[in-house]
C-alpha cells in the first residue's frame, strides 16, 4: 500500500507545493490547426475542432490522432473568475512556444516544452465567463530543444513521433495577494537539519511564515519567520526518536517522507497555506562511491523514455504512472534514467513515496548556436528549480551523448559551454551528482558514464574490465573515448549508463529496431540478458543502466512491450538483477 504525503490530492499537478484552491482545466477544449483559422477568429475562440487536453493532437487519446506536422495550433475554452482571489493559470508543459490570451488580450508567453509556467491573469478577467485562448508554435527543427521527438515527418532510428502543443496539465489556482511564491528545501541528514529557503509575493514586516514538520502524524517541530525580505533562509532541527530510527532505515533503502505545512499570515490573518513534504536524503559522490547518506549505493537502473502507445509522451492517467514504477521495482531496479524527457511531476511524487531514484536529464537540441546556448541554459535552469525538492532526484544530466554539442570531444568553445552547464547546476545544487555529458567526451563531471551496446557479455567485459580501459577508450574496439580532448580522469566513480538494448519482438511482425541481432525466443532473450548483466556486475562500476523499460514505436528493445506486457516473467529479470557474481 502506498503511504501518501499528508498534502496528497489525487491528480493534483504540483504535488510538492499544494494549495486547496485549484481547478483542473483538462478535458475538452476547442481546437484548430493554424492553417485552418485566421488569428482574429482564433482569438475569439472560433475553432472548428475539439481536443482532449492534455493529449497532443498526434495521439489517439486527444480524439484527433493526426500525425501530420502542424507548426501552429490553437486552443480555447471558457473559465470563470474566482472573485476575491488572484487567479493564476498554470501550464505544466506546452511544446514549444506558448502564448496565452484572455478575452482577446495577451497575458504572457513561455518558450520551452519541458517546464511549467504560471501567469497571474486576474486583471484580464471580468465577472462570469471569460475566454482563455492558448496558441502554441512548434517547428520541426533540430535547433529546438526536442528530446526524442523526430524533426522530420517520419520516425527514424530511436526518434519518435513529435508532440505539439499542450502535453501536460493545465490548471488554475486561487490564492491571496500575499502568498508563498517559492520554496527550496535542502535536508542535512547527518546534522538532523532541514534548510528552508523561501519567498513571499509581498514581503513586509507584518508578514510571517509559519512552518510545522510532522513525521507519520507525529509533530516534530514548528516555527515562525518574519518575511520582510525578498528571500528568507532558516535551518530547522528535525529530530525525534521515531524519526531518527526511520532516517537510519532510509540510509539503507529509499527515504521516509516528512510532511511540512507552511502558513502565511499578514497582521496575524491567514493569507495562504501550502502543503509539502521532504525526505532526509543526501545523494552524493564520496570516496570514489555513489552514496546515500554517506553509505555506498549501487545503482541498478533502467532507461525509461516515458512513452505510451495511446498518449505518446503524456501519461494516460495517474494509475499508469504508478504501474510503471511498480513494474520497474518488480524487476529489481532501484532507479530510472528518465531519458531525454522531463517527466510529469506526479511521476516524481510517486517515485518519492514509493522509493525509486530518478536521474533527471535535460532534453537535447541537436545543433549548437549562440541563440540556443542561451535557451538551453535558461530552460535547464527552470527544470532544475522545478524538480529540486523531490527526494527521488538523485542526479542531474546536462547533456546526453554530445547531442546538440557535437564538437564537444575536441572543440574548446563547446567544452566551455558544457562545463558552464555543469557549474551552473552545481551552483544551484551543490550536493547531488551532476553529469556534464552522459556517455563519453566528459569535461567536468561527478560520475564518469559510458555507453556500450555490444550484445556479447564477454566482449562487453573485455572492453571495460578495468579503470584504465574505461577511461582511455579505444575507437578500434568500438568504445568511445570517455574524456574530451585535454581532460584527464579525476577518479570519479563509473556508471555504465547505457547498455543492452536487446531487440525482442516475440509475437509480432514488422520492424524490430534494436542493437545487434534480435533474439528469437524467451530462452535466448534471458540468456543474453544474463550475459550482459553479469558482465556489468564484474566491472569496476558503481552502477549500470539497462536500455530500456518498454518498447517505443519502432524500437523494440524494451523489457516490456508498449502496453506494459512483460516479454518474460518479471521475476526472471529480478533474478538476473539480483544475482551475485
Q: What CATH number should be reported for the domain holding residue 110?
A: 2.60.120.260
Q: Which tens digit of pLDDT belongs to each residue from 431-462? A: 999 999 999 999 999 999 999 999 999 999 99
Q: Among candidates 320, 209, 299, 227, which has minimal Cα distance to 537?
A: 299
Whole-Å CA distances, 345 to 186, 286, 351, 418: 19, 29, 10, 26
Where does a domain end: 254, 279, 304? 279
Residue 7 lies in a domain: no
Residue 6 lies in a domain: no
Alpha helices, H only, 265-400? 318-330, 345-354, 370-387
Name the CA dihedral angle for 298, 302, 305, 307, rounded to a multiple of 10 degrees: -130
Low-confidence ranges of the chain (pLDDT < 70): 240-255, 473-478, 506-513
Q: Are residues 103 and 161 in the same domain?
A: yes
Residue 11 lies in a domain: no
Report the length, in residues, of the chain: 581
Q: What CATH number should be reported for the domain holding residue 405?
A: 3.20.20.80
Grid coordinates representing 354? 514509493
Q: What CATH number should be reported for the domain holding residue 249?
A: 2.60.40.10
Q: Among candidates 110, 114, 115, which has minimal Cα distance to 97?
A: 110
Residue 458 lies in a domain: yes
Where does a domain end: 157, 174, 191? 174
Structural domain boundaries, residue 254:
180-279
Q: Is 387 helix (H, G, I), strand (E, B) or coil?
A: helix
Q: Among candidates 105, 92, 265, 250, which has minimal Cα distance to 165?
A: 92
Q: Are residues 186 and 162 in the same domain?
A: no
Tally of structural domains, the chain: 3
| Alpha-carbon gap, residue 349 to 360, rounded angstroms | 14
Q: Are residues 461 and 373 in the same domain?
A: yes
Q: Are residues 245 and 137 in the same domain?
A: no
| Alpha-carbon gap, residue 485 to 555, rounded angstroms | 33
Q: Are residues 346 and 214 in the same domain?
A: no
pLDDT at 252: 45
Where does a domain end: 237, 253, 279? 279
Q: Among candidates 90, 10, 108, 14, which has minimal Cα distance to 53?
A: 90
Grid coordinates representing 74? 490553437
Q: Among candidates 200, 220, 95, 215, which has minimal Cα distance to 146?
A: 95
Residue 4 lies in a domain: no
pLDDT at 470: 92
Q: Are residues 396 and 509 in the same domain?
A: yes
pLDDT at 474: 65
| Alpha-carbon gap, residue 525 to 253, rounded angstroms | 30
Q: Are residues 47 and 155 in the same domain?
A: yes
Q: Are residues 122 and 230 in the same domain?
A: no
Q: Are residues 219 and 233 in the same domain?
A: yes
Residue 503 lies in a domain: yes
Q: Are residues 149 and 228 in the same domain?
A: no
Whole-Å CA distances, 445 to 3, 449, 542: 35, 9, 15
pLDDT at 251: 45
Residue 450 lies in a domain: yes
Q: Are residues 197 and 93 in the same domain?
A: no
Residue 497 lies in a domain: yes
3-state secondary structure labels for all residues of 6-22: CCCCCCCCCCCCECCCE
CB 315 within 8 A of CB 55: no
Residues 6 or more apart whose Cβ sits within 8 Å of residue 14: 90, 92, 116, 345
Q: Are residues 247 and 321 in the same domain?
A: no
205 CB-contact burial (10 Å; exposed 0-12 / middle 13-18 / buried 19+): exposed
Amino acid at each position: 500500500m502506498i503511504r501518501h504525503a499528508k498534502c496528497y490530492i489525487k491528480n493534483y499537478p504540483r504535488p510538492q507545493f499544494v494549495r486547496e484552491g485549484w481547478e483542473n482545466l483538462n478535458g475538452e477544449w476547442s481546437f484548430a490547426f493554424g492553417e485552418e483559422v485566421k488569428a482574429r477568429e482564433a482569438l475569439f475562440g472560433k475553432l472548428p475542432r475539439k481536443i482532449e487536453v492534455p493529449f497532443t493532437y498526434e495521439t489517439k487519446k486527444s480524439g484527433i490522432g493526426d500525425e501530420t506536422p502542424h507548426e501552429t495550433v490553437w486552443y480555447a475554452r471558457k473559465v470563470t473568475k474566482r472573485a476575491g482571489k488572484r487567479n493564476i493559470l498554470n501550464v505544466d508543459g506546452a511544446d514549444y512556444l506558448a502564448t496565452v490570451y484572455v478575452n482577446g488580450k495577451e497575458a504572457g508567453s513561455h518558450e520551452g516544452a519541458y517546464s511549467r509556467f504560471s501567469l497571474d491573469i486576474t486583471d484580464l478577467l471580468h465577472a462570469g465567463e471569460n475566454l482563455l485562448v492558448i496558441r502554441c508554435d512548434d517547428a520541426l527543427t533540430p535547433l529546438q530543444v526536442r528530446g526524442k521527438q523526430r524533426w522530420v515527418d517520419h520516425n527514424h532510428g530511436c526518434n519518435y513521433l513529435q508532440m505539439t502543443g499542450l502535453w501536460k496539465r493545465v490548471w488554475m489556482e486561487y490564492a491571496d495577494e500575499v502568498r508563498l511564491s517559492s520554496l527550496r528545501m535542502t535536508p542535512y541528514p547527518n546534522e538532523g537539519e532541514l534548510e528552508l529557503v523561501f519567498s513571499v509575493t509581498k514581503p513586509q514586516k507584518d508578514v510571517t511564515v509559519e512552518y510545522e514538520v510532522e513525521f507519520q502524524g507525529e509533530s516534530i517541530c514548528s516555527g515562525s519567520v518574519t518575511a520582510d525580505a525578498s528571500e528568507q533562509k532558516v535551518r530547522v532541527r528535525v529530530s525525534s526518536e521515531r524519526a531518527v530510527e526511520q532516517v537510519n532505515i532510509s540510509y539503507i533503502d529509499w527515504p521516509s517522507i516528512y510532511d511540512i505545512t507552511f502558513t502565511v499570515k499578514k497582521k496575524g490573518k491567514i493569507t495562504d497555506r501550502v502543503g509539502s513534504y521532504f525526505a532526509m536524503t543526501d545523494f552524493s559522490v564520496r570516496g570514489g562511491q555513489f552514496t546515500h547518506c554517506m553509505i555506498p549505493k549501487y545503482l541498478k537502473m533502467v532507461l525509461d523514455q516515458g512513452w505510451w502507445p495511446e498518449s505518446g509522451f503524456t501519461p494516460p492517467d495517474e494509475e499508469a504512472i504508478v504501474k510503471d514504477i511498480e513494474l520497474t521495482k518488480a524487476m529489481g531496479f532501484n532507479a530510472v534514467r528518465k531519458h531525454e524527457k522531463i517527466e510529469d511531476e506526479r511521476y516524481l511524487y510517486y517515485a518519492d513515496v514509493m522509493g525509486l531514484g530518478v536521474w533527471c536529464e535535460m532534453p537535447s537540441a541537436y545543433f549548437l548556436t549562440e541563440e540556443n546556448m542561451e535557451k538551453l541554459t535558461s530552460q535547464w535552469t527552470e527544470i532544475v528549480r522545478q524538480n529540486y525538492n523531490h527526494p527521488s532526484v538523485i542526479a542531474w544530466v546536462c547533456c546526453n551523448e554530445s547531442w546538440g554539442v557535437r564538437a564537444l570531444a575536441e572543440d574548446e568553445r563547446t567544452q566551455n559551454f558544457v562545463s558552464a552547464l555543469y557549474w551552473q547546476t552545481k551552483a544551484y545544487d551543490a550536493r547531488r551528482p551532476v553529469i556534464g555529458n552522459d556517455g563519453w567526451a566528459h569535461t567536468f563531471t561527478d560520475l564518469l558514464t559510458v555507453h556500450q551496446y555490444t550484445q556479447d557479455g564477454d566482449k562487453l567485459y573485455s572492453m571495460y574490465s578495468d579503470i584504465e580501459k574505461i577511461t582511455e577508450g579505444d575507437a578500434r574496439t568500438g568504445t568511445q573515448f570517455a574524456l574530451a580532448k585535454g581532460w584527464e580522469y579525476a577518479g570519479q566513480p563509473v556508471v555504465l549508463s547505457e547498455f543492452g538494448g536487446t531487440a525482442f519482438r516475440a509475437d509480432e511482425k514488422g520492424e524490430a529496431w534494436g542493437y545487434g541481432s534480435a533474439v528469437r525466443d524467451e530462452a535466448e532473450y534471458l540468456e543474453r540478458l544474463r550475459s550482459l548483466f553479469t558482465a556489468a556486475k564484474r566491472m569496476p562500476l558503481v552502477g549500470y543502466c539497462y536500455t530500456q523499460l518498454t518498447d517505443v514505436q519502432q524500437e523494440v528493445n524494451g523489457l516490456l512491450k508498449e502496453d506494459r506486457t512483460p516479454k518474460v516473467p518479471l521475476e526472471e529479470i529480478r533474478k538476473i538483477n539480483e544475482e551475485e557474481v
